[in-house]
Amino acid sequence: MNKNKLYFGDNLDILKSLYKENPKGFIDLIYIDPPFNSKRNYNVLFESVEMTDTKAQKEAFADTWSNISYKDTLDEILELNKDIYDFLKALDRISNHKASISYLTTMTIRLIYMHKLLKDTGSFYLHCDPTMSHYLKIICDLIFGEKNFQNEIIWCYKTGGATNRRFGRKHDIIFFYSKSAKYIFNPQKEKSYMMHEYGFKKSDFQKDEKGQYSWVIAKDWWEIPSIGSATKERLGYDTQKPELLLEKIIKASSNDGDLIVDFFCGCGTTIAVAEKLNRNWIGVDISHLAIRLIINRLTHTFENNIEKKQKLLDNIEVNGLPKDIDSAKELAEKTSSGRLKFEEWIVEFMLHGILNENRTQMGFDGYFTFDVNGEKQIGMIEVKSGNTNPTQLNHFIKTVESKNGSIGVFVCFDDKVTRNMRIIEKDAGYYNESIWGHNYPRIQILTVEGLLKGDKIKVPVSTKTTFRVSEPEEIYITKQNKLEL
């Protein structure tokens, strides 16, 4: 494998495509932490600012399980594994919770293909909460075979779950399966405790250089702190997993240079840890935001080392998004839903911004933030996939002014930019950064062609940007302000 890869799109489509290309399996380790039917809001992956009059928040990772029609998927599962089909049909007959059946069905078809893509020496880790783990365990037994079930790992933590109506819920479950009996496993160490208190045998322990017992082979019960509000690696993703958890899994079930894959990669913890541990990796997510966030998370580590940053970028291949002007125009010329996807691609991926969910009523498609002298500023983005004219540009300028935007960015194709539009852009004046006296165009017309070549928004250098990012080797967090549009 020459490059690490990020895929934007439905992971089922990508799983099927990868299987078609690699029917014998090629992955060493798969870890997934899929969302459940809880309508969780995967918001707060970005910094935001106060605005007035209207209100909206971007839901970055939409949980759509309950909206999926699962009947066709059941028929597809019948062709692949009749035992699993019979199990799901039985649940469907006796359960009134169709959202849960939909979730299990859509998960099952994906798990089947993940199993196919593993090498014979490969391993699979499924991270889930106790509400569905019992069903998923049966499904995994049917796919991987009961004999290839290795562990039910209990990850326990101290935060969250407190209540006076039951015992505090303080753990997650991680199922560990192998593809066969030939799987890779590197025993992991953990600090030892007093033998007489906890009942460990001497054979459980290893000796340090002084001949004293210092650690034991790790058990299937892991106490690792969860991501708290003050944790340096926190990005704001409410189910973000700690890097230490993924380090333990990746070190145990892979070696240097092996291929690690996360088909629900979210904010990219699996990818970040795989990169640090010198593994090859593939990440898949259905959100532009996730893809951009992961790239930011990886590259910001080398923000002060341009050479290393560029080397890392050169080794990442992004799939599922336009790479040239022809594919960009193809996306823009599709149906109305295609047009909206074009806007998402420009705002979220190309400009590192946040999509305005109320864009049809608001007069702008997205926004970004930057910090000047300790004060947060807003930049607004308008995207046009078809014809443009000076009237549209003037309307956008009025929107920027009425919403107290500092900078407005108007995006269209190069052949749609008129001479009058350039005059209007120039006449809009400048945003002035008071301390250093630098001027930045108040309205900036960027073309799709230019963005594909690397053009950027002209904006003051900011220590706090739209996305939360990492310090070298760490992730930092700043206080989030609520965005009201």
Question: Do strands 205-207 and 213-217 pair parallel, antiparallel, or not at all (unpaired)?
Answer: antiparallel
- Region 307-336: what's the mean pLDDT? 84
CA dihedral over 272, 275, 347, 51, signed as positive or negative: positive
What the block records as the tokens of 148 is 């290839």
How many residues does the structure list for the chain? 485
- Is the confidence at residue 337, as pLDDT, over 80? no
Q: What are phi and psi of 232, to 5 degrees?
A: -65, -30
pTM: 0.77
**310 or 194, which is more confident?**
310
Long-range contacts of 462-466 (CB under 8 A, 24+ apart): 462/370, 462/371, 462/372, 463/371, 464/47, 464/369, 464/370, 464/371, 464/376, 465/47, 465/352, 465/368, 465/369, 465/370, 465/371, 466/46, 466/47, 466/352, 466/353, 466/354, 466/368, 466/369, 466/370
DSSP structure class, residue 479: P
Domain with CATH 3.40.91 in the chain: 325-475
| Structural domain 325-475, CATH architecture | 3-Layer(aba) Sandwich (3.40)
User: Of 46-60, 288-302, 401-415, 433-447, where does mean pLDDT reach its minimum?
Assistant: 46-60
pLDDT for 375 equals 82
Q: What is the pLDDT of residue 473?
A: 40
**Which residues are bridge partners to 124 per DSSP?**
30, 177
* Residue 333 φ/ψ region, left for φ over 0, alpha for ψ in the -120 to 50 degree band, beta for the rest: alpha
> Residue 339's pLDDT is what?
62
The domain 4-45+74-184+232-319 belongs to what CATH superfamily?
Vaccinia Virus protein VP39 (3.40.50.150)
Domain with CATH 3.40.50.150 in the chain: 4-45+74-184+232-319
What per-residue confidence (pLDDT) applies to 370? 86
- Count of beta carbons in the 10 Å neighbourhood of residue 239: 18
